[in-house]
Structure 1
Amino acid sequence: MEDIFLALLRTGLVFIMILFFFRLTGKKDIGEISVLDIVITLLIVDIAVIMIEDTNMPVMKGLAPVLLLFAIQYTFSRISLKNQKFRDVVDGRPVLIIREGKLQQENMKKQSYNLDDVLLQLRTKDVFDIREVEYALLETSGALSVYKKGDQYPFTLPFILDGAVQEEHLSILGKTSDWLKKELENRGYSHFDQVFYCGFTTEKHLYIEPKTHLEK
């Protein structure tokens, strides 16, 4: 009876820990959870199973590695907010899969993304002909973002994210960082670091949101 009580008590404790972890990672859809979040969650679950099954294990011995994982996740998330390169390593970057109705075979090969994957995701978006697609990007979550030719809503491609220039996105639309710099200067921005977000729409308009505060 005592073992059952301890198992139930530890189960409640584990539930609170996992709930706290997801609150720590911020509010995200399931499809937006990063690889880092998944890895840490799996490790926490493994530790939790051991804690629940082995009632002889001291609670603090089980909590210690969980607290370490919390610290790692928190530290990495803080670094990711400020460092684009670190974020790219941890989360990856969106990859162009279709451009102007043509499959980007090299990009597909690098991502181990085959034709069945592409066609399946296109069908879920009611697209049955690749030629209908203007651009399709494979997101870091594994979802395929599709912009069809003739869509009434403009498709915006991010050129700057938190001061970091997205060179791949510039190349998709045949633009360069020099071109972007001149466009920003014409609008009163002398440095990329002054821009929190800059997107370029298919209507050939730049949308710019400056940083609300600049780091000294």
Structure 2
Amino acid sequence: MITAFARTVILYFLIVVGLRLMGKRQIGQLEPGELVLTMMISDLATVPMQDFGIPLFTGIIPILTLLSLSLLISQLALHHLRFRALVCGTPAILVRDGKLQQQAMRKNRFTLDELLEQLRGQGIATVADVKYAILENSGQLSVLPFEDKQPPTAQQLGVKITQQVTLPIVVINDGRLLSKNLAASGHDETWLAKELKKRRLTSHRQVFLLTVDGQGSVFCVKKEDP
């Protein structure tokens, strides 16, 4: 039992570290090679987990080999455009100036139903409203409508923005005071105590979430009783 636990923990952390080296990607954003690598690693890891007769290194060595190969290919693709196009592919334009590029759709085996579904998912009813629809290497469809079909910006409407949006800083997270974040927000514990008192709270442990933005706006959510 201890052996099974130890082997599983070792392989788990090895795979987690390896996938982190691949970068932050969701499954739907993986390149074809990355998806194949993920599937192969998962299959390789299950064998030494289930069969204790197989040495642990028999599973670790192929995993490390695949990860090393993936890192090598990533570095080559980073510095060589032709190699990148060969391994990762190139984006394909499926719609150009409101016209379907049928040859590109056939080459990528992208059906008309799939295209229309993707357009509807982005709030576009007809192909005629699309200036460019680009099938990315990850399989995602990037859609750029014509300028007159896009929502107006504040600049186009002549609206002057007086305050810039800033990312709120989390000061209290599930009852835990994040002192570094509090200092980064430009406030101290005296200020925090006053803010809690305004909300009839006596301790930060009573707060589920408290954030403050660059304009000094405070957002506070009290903890619910269990």
Per the normalisation by structure 2, the TM-score is 0.63
Which digits, 9 at most, give the CA deviation of each residue in 1:5-60, with x for residues without a partner? 32222221121111111221122344332212111111111111101100111111
1:124 to 114, 121, 128: 121
Identity of aligned residues (%): 35
Distance in 2, matches of 1:62 and 1:148, equals 49
Distance in 1, matches of 2:40 and 2:18, equals 12
1:105 to 102, 107, 121: 102
Aligned: 1:88 with 2:85 = yes
1:45 to 42, 45, 51: 42
- The letter for the 2-side match of 1:100 is D
2:31 to 34, 42, 45: 34
SS at match of 1:136: strand
Deviation beyond 4 Å, 4+ runs, structure 1: none
- The letter for the 1-side match of 2:130 is V
Extract unaligned runs of 5+ from structure 2. Answer: 154-226
Distance in 1, matches of 2:126 and 2:33, equals 35
| Alignment partner, residue 6 of structure 1 | 3
Distance in 2, matches of 1:29 and 1:67, equals 22
Which digits, 9 at most, give the CA deviation of each residue in 1:89-114, with x for residues without a partner? 11111100001111100000000111
| Alignment partner, residue 112 of structure 2 | 115
| Alignment partner, residue 65 of structure 2 | 68
| Alignment partner, residue 175 of structure 1 | none
Distance in 1, matches of 2:44 and 2:29, equals 24
| Alignment partner, residue 133 of structure 2 | 136
SS at match of 2:142: strand
SS at match of 2:70: helix
Q: Which of structures 1 and 2 has the bigger CA Rg?
A: 2
Distance in 1, matches of 2:83 and 2:128, equals 35
Report the more deviating stretch, 85-94 or 25-34: 25-34
Distance in 1, matches of 2:144 and 2:98, equals 10
Distance in 1, matches of 2:49 and 2:140, equals 35
Distance in 2, matches of 1:8 and 1:147, equals 51
Query: What's the Cα RMSD here?
Result: 1.4
Which digits, 9 at most, give the CA deviation of each residue in 1:80-132, with x for residues without a partner? 10011111111111100001111100000000111011011001101111111
Report the more deviating stretch, 76-85 or 24-33: 24-33
- The letter for the 2-side match of 1:53 is Q
Distance in 1, matches of 2:3 and 2:124, equals 54
| Alignment partner, residue 180 of structure 2 | none
SS at match of 2:131: strand
- The letter for the 2-side match of 1:122 is L
